[in-house]
């Protein structure tokens, strides 16, 4: 017999203190992810966070959701982004996984989407008949240093057991020397009246600027949202992660050394001209959100590049077209530039027939969190 139990926002404190949940052979969430959900500014007490799947009274699966707002046809309504979905191998053939998806779809009144998935998961979603392809975003990965530690296991999974950090370190001695000249040239290109301020939280001027520059965004973000993701990350830096329970959770919990969001407020002659949210997870970076006028795209792009060159980031991903188009023109600065494609699907319950002109940012959905 299959039974689905729902965890609402108001249930999170109790779940955090339920020892039986945290002593199982697998985890249904990390504690810090649940705490983050609890503080989600879009979430109300009766909103769903997690659903637990039981087979013959044994907990063998779960599905998690992140609540956001979608803007279409001059209206705003809640959407649930599926952020986790997993069932124990022993439940194979029982229908538990599909029951979890059906229950979440029903309880969210069909208002759900998925912004990250594997090809096998996509086949399941297609088979359900619930979803339409939503947005196909094209971007690039720009490599500024050697990152064999991450690249080689993608080419050959058997290499994952080897640590290539030492080799990367040796190779990057040369690249770091080379980039001293790259950084010097970039600084010369940035006008003298440009200033970059790193924010710990969004100020009123930046909040107004974001609001003004996201009229064509299908998922509009508030200052509360940005302050929330910075204060309550889903990923924590954990140098001793090998002693943690991360292997008991099928999704991200920890980074090896660093996980951080940088809020860059860019001004010219004391007037704000851009704002961007950059993420660093160990040696990889992401351009999650960016707000600027087209005429300022080049200087914003140079500042983003200069930011990453001044960190230990080895490569970064960007889906903002204007930034990618400009960075692609730079010669002799990147080891390689790989085209990236990001798929998203969303429920047929939404009438999204005219969205081609609307922007879907890299950080939309649940992509900003891991």
Three-state SS at 122: helix
Q: Choose between 165 and 233: higher pLDDT.
A: 233
- Report strand pairing: 75-87 vs 315-318: unpaired
- Report strand pairing: 2-8 vs 112-114: unpaired
| Domain 2-114 CATH superfamily | Gcn5-related N-acetyltransferase (GNAT) (3.40.630.30)
Three-state SS at 68: strand
Residue keyed to tokens 């689905």: 4
Per-residue confidence (pLDDT) for residue 215, from 0 to 100: 87
Average pLDDT over all residues of the chain: 92
Band (pLDDT 50/70/90 cuts) for residue 133 is confident
C-alpha R_g of the chain: 22
Per-residue confidence (pLDDT) for residue 143, from 0 to 100: 96
Is the confidence at residue 73, as pLDDT, over 80?
Answer: no
pLDDT digits (tens, 9 = 90+) for 52-68: 999 999 999 999 999 99
350 phi, psi to nearest 5 deg:
-85, 135
**Tokens at residue 56, please?**
């013959």
pLDDT digits (tens, 9 = 90+) for 237-272: 999 998 999 899 999 999 999 999 999 999 999 999
Mean pLDDT confidence for 203-232? 95
- Global pTM reads 0.93
Mean pLDDT confidence for 270-283? 97
- Report strand pairing: 315-318 vs 259-268: unpaired
Q: What percent of the chain has pLDDT over 90?
A: 76
Q: Choose between 350 and 32: higher pLDDT.
A: 32
Per-residue confidence (pLDDT) for residue 95, from 0 to 100: 93
Q: Measured between alpha carbons, how far is 39 from 228 in angstroms, rounded to an integer?
A: 7
Per-residue confidence (pLDDT) for residue 355, from 0 to 100: 64
Q: What percent of the chain has pLDDT over 70?
A: 99
Contacts of 90 (CB under 8 A, 6+ apart): 60
Per-residue confidence (pLDDT) for residue 356, from 0 to 100: 66
Per-residue confidence (pLDDT) for residue 154, from 0 to 100: 76
Mean pLDDT confidence for 28-45? 96
When mean pLDDT is compared across 22-36, 126-140, 304-318, the lowest value belongs to 126-140
Sign of CA dihedral 285, 288, 292, 297: positive
Q: Which residues of 58-94 are buried (b: 16+ CB within 10 A; e: fewer)?
A: ebbbbbbbbbbebbbeeeeebbbbbbbbbbbeebeeb
| Boundaries of every domain in the chain | 2-114, 139-341
Is the confidence at residue 284, as pLDDT, over 70?
Answer: yes
Mean pLDDT confidence for 336-364? 85
Per-residue confidence (pLDDT) for residue 354, from 0 to 100: 63
Is the confidence at residue 159, as pLDDT, over 80?
Answer: no
Is the confidence at residue 72, as pLDDT, over 80?
Answer: no
Per-residue confidence (pLDDT) for residue 343, from 0 to 100: 87
pLDDT digits (tens, 9 = 90+) for 287-323: 999 999 999 999 999 999 999 999 999 999 999 999 9
Domain 139-341, CATH class in plain words: alpha beta
When mean pLDDT is compared across 139-153, 221-235, 254-268, the lowest value belongs to 139-153
Mean pLDDT confidence for 76-81? 90
Q: Measured between alpha carbons, how far is 234 from 17 in angstroms, rounded to an integer?
A: 19
């Amino acid at each position: 017999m299959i039974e689905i139990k729902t965890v609402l926002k108001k249930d999170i404190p109790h779940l955090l203190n339920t020892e039986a949940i945290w002593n199982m052979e697998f985890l249904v969430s990390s504690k810090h992810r649940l705490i983050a959900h609890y503080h989600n500014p879009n979430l109300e007490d009766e909103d769903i966070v997690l659903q637990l799947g039981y087979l013959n009274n044994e907990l063998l699966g779960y599905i998690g959701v992140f609540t956001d707002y979608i803007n279409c046809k001059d209206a705003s309504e809640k959407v649930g982004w599926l952020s986790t979905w997993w069932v124990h191998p022993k439940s194979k053939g029982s229908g538990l996984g599909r029951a979890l998806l059906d229950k979440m779809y029903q309880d969210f009144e069909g208002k759900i989407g998925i912004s990250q998935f594997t090809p096998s998961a996509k086949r399941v979603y297609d088979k359900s008949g619930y979803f339409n392809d939503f947005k196909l975003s094209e971007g690039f990965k720009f490599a500024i240093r050697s990152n064999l530690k991450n690249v080689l296991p993608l080419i050959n999974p058997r290499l994952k057991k080897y640590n290539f950090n030492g080799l990367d370190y040796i190779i990057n001695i040369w690249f770091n020397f080379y980039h001293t000249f790259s950084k010097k040239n970039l600084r010369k290109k940035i006008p003298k009246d440009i200033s970059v301020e790193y924010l710990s939280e969004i100020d009123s001027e930046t909040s107004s600027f974001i609001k003004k520059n996201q009229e064509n965004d299908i998922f509009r973000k508030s200052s509360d949202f940005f302050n929330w993701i910075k204060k309550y990350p889903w990923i924590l830096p954990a140098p001793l992660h090998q002693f943690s329970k991360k292997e008991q959770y099928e999704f991200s919990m920890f980074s090896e050394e660093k996980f951080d969001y940088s809020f860059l407020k860019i001004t010219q002659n004391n007037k704000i001209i851009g704002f961007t949210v950059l993420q660093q997870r160990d040696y990889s970076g992401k351009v999650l959100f960016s707000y600027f006028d087209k005429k300022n795209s080049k200087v914003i792009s140079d500042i983003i590049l200069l930011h990453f060159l001044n960190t230990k980031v080895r490569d970064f991903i960007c889906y903002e077209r204007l930034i990618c188009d400009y960075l692609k023109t730079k010669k002799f600065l990147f080891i390689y530039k790989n085209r990236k494609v990001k798929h998203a699907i969303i429920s047929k319950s939404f009438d999204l027939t005219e969205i081609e002109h609307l922007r879907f940012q890299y950080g939309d959905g649940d992509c900003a969190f891991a």
